[in-house]
Every structure is written in structure tokens, then in C-alpha cells.
Amino acid sequence: MKKIIILYASVGGGHYRAADGIKKYIDEHYPNEYIVELIDGLNYVSKTVDKITISSYVNMARYSPKTWSKIYKIGEENHSLGSFSNGVQKLLSHKLFDLFEEQDPDVVISTHFFMTEMVACLKKKKKTKCKLAVILTDYASHKFWLSSSEYVDLYFVANEQMRYTLIHEGIEETKINVTGIPVRPEFLLEYNKEKTFEEFGFSMDKPTFLVFGGGQYGMSDASKIFKGILDVKEDIQIIAIAGKSEKTKATFEKLTEKSNKKVAILGFTDRVAELMYASDFIVSKPGGLTTTEILVSNKPFIIFSPVPGQEEENSAFLTNNGAGVRIYDLNKTTPIIEQLINDTFRVENIKLMQRHVAKPNSTKDIVDIVLKNI
């Protein structure tokens, strides 16, 4: 039986969600045909490095976004930073070899460039003969993803622009597949909107906003945009997801006390797909996987506070393609939301462009190509 290892790094939730979507699809559609392991590779090789990496990224993104932006741009323009990062991964790759020696995978699917570099190092040293497939989990590429490309067998990217970028960077065209980013099966289902609204005491006739409070680490200034939405004159209803941030949840609750709007405030929830399906507008940061889920759900995307670097590029992709609206000044949230609610032509065109760039069959397409190449 063929063995597939899917490696991710828990720097943000997106890399895991992409990996999890692939595993779920293989398990569901190919039961008992493949052995599939889902592994947090960075945590596996070094819990200390894993902890340092996550805390460093979170702290920079939250407290010093300009610093992270500079690092991101330097990494794109100067190979020295990428070489340093790759050197660290090479040092850690010997620990990953223990896993490979034990499991002897036929294919490794990587959703993070840390993992890609480690596996590439093992391939270079001829310590594994596995095929290496890499899934880029944002809507623009970065040189971090393209290091050691000679040891990568397959690249999966979100859009045609990325394909051209990779070719320009010297990647063989035959390796590049424009499939989109993997989306978990639940985002392709239909849900009972009436039942969902009944639970929250919502009306089927009012515009419904789904607001995300800043992702896994609560990094965004969610309070300003949430207040701006509460202040719109239209009679709307809001579902606010604070995630794991108790501070964000408490802020949402305090702001809601002064509003006459119908609001449901949730902490961490596994019902995101259902809530996206039930909503009319979605307000969020543009993380790679969140962007994919919103595009597949085909709901107007209102973007706020992207993290400099990859999220800025995701935002640019969406706005350049007319598939999202970005609020640059959160103090002007209310008039922008009011205009959007009343501009049905614009809303329909956003949804049309979302359907144009969304790739709802991404997970199936990736799995089909990977299995064909085993």
C-alpha cells in the first residue's frame, strides 16, 4: 500500500487547513488504498524552534508589521535571507529523517516552505526517493517557496498569474499546476440557512454579516471595523467570530451592549462553512485559506487589516480582480458598508468575479494529479 505524508507547519491555521483538506479527501474517496499521515513537521523536528517561529511571527505581525513587511520584501529581493532560512531547515532535516526512515513515504505533500526545504535536503542527500509535491497557500508566490526547486516534483498554485511568475523564476512549466488552494469538503456543501438563523433568532429578510475577529491570534484591529458595522443605519444582523481570543470576544460583547442590532457572538467554532453559507457579506483578514473558503462560498468579501507581506498580496489579488473590497481606513467603515449594501450591481459583479477566480474543485484536482504521479 502506497504511503503519503502530508507535512505542514502551524504558523497560522491555513497551512494545517490545506493539509487537512487533502487528507480528508483521500480518506473519503480512496479508503484502504493509501496510508495517509498528517504531521506538523516543524513541531516534529523541534518543539523549541516551532514555538520560537510561531511567537516571532505573531509578535511581528501584531506589534511590528512594518518589520515583518521589510523581512518579507528582503526575502523576495535578496537571496541571503532565504539562504539563511534554508540553512536552518537543512540543520533540522536530519531529525525529519527519523520519520522517513520509519515510514518510507512514496509521496510527501508540503504546505509550508520550511517543510519543503527539509524534504528537499533529504532528497539531495539521497536519503529518500519520495516524490515531493508543494502547495503554495497564498495568492502570490515568494522566493522562500521556490528554493531547491530541482528536488520538487510538483507545484500547485492558486492562479494563472502565479504560474507565469514561477516560470519567470526558472521553474519547469511541466511541474506547475494551477489548481487553486485546497478547500475542505464542508465548504462545498449546502446548509439549511433557515435552521441556522432560527438558532440565532435571526430573520431571513435582513442582510447578514459574518465578521472574523482577526484569525487564530487576534492580530487585527477588529474592534474598529466591528463598531463601524454596528453603526450602519440599515437594519442588519451580525455573526461575529472571535476565535480563540477572549479579549476580542469581550470587546465584541461590550460594543454590542450599546447597539440595537441583532448580534450572535461566537468563540472558536467548527461551523465556519455553515456560517459562510448563511451570510450575505463576509468581513475578514485575507489569509490564504480564508480567502479560498470565501471565494468558494461566493459571498462578497470585505477585507481589513491584512498582515504586510503575503496577506497584502492576497488583498491585491482580490481587489485587482474585482473579487473583494478593501477598507483602508477603518474609521470610514460605516459609509463603505452602507454603500455596499445598497449597490446590488456592484455586489453581483463581485460575486461574478469570485466565480471566475475561485477553484472549488481544487482539492480533487490536486489529489488526482498527485496520485497519478506516484
pLDDT number for residue 143: 82
* Residues 165 and 206 grouped into a single domain: no
How much of the chain exceeds pLDDT 90, in percent?
71
Distances 341 to 23, 158, 210 between C-alpha atoms, Å: 38, 29, 14
* Residues 254 and 332 grouped into a single domain: yes
* Residues 168 and 255 grouped into a single domain: no
Rg for the chain (alpha carbons), in Å?
21
Residues 14-33: what's their mean pLDDT?
93
Q: Which among 322, 314, 9 has a CA at the least distance from the CA of 141?
A: 314
* Residues 168 and 263 grouped into a single domain: no
* Residues 35 and 171 grouped into a single domain: yes
* Residues 175 and 239 grouped into a single domain: no
Query: Does the structure show a pLDDT above 80 at 171?
Result: yes
C-alpha cell at 305: 487589516
* Residues 168 and 249 grouped into a single domain: no
pLDDT band at 83 (very low <50, low <70, confident <90, very high): very low
Domain containing 28 equals 2-181+361-372
**CATH code: domain of residue 100:** 3.40.50.2000
- Residue that is written with C-alpha cell 502570490 in the block: 140
* Residues 221 and 278 grouped into a single domain: yes
* Residues 139 and 272 grouped into a single domain: no
> What is the domain count for the chain?
2
Asked whether the beta carbons of 86 and 147 are under 8 A apart, the reply is yes
Question: Would you give the distance in Å from CA 197 to the centre of its chain?
Answer: 27
Residues 110-133: what's their mean pLDDT?
92
Query: Does the structure show a pLDDT above 50 at 57?
Result: no
* Residues 38 and 121 grouped into a single domain: yes
Please give the mean pLDDT across all residues of the chain. Answer: 88
Q: Report the alpha-carbon distance of residue 49 to residue 43 in Å, rounded.
A: 8
* Residues 275 and 132 grouped into a single domain: no
237-259 per-position pLDDT tens digit: 999 999 888 999 999 999 999 89
* Residues 227 and 330 grouped into a single domain: yes
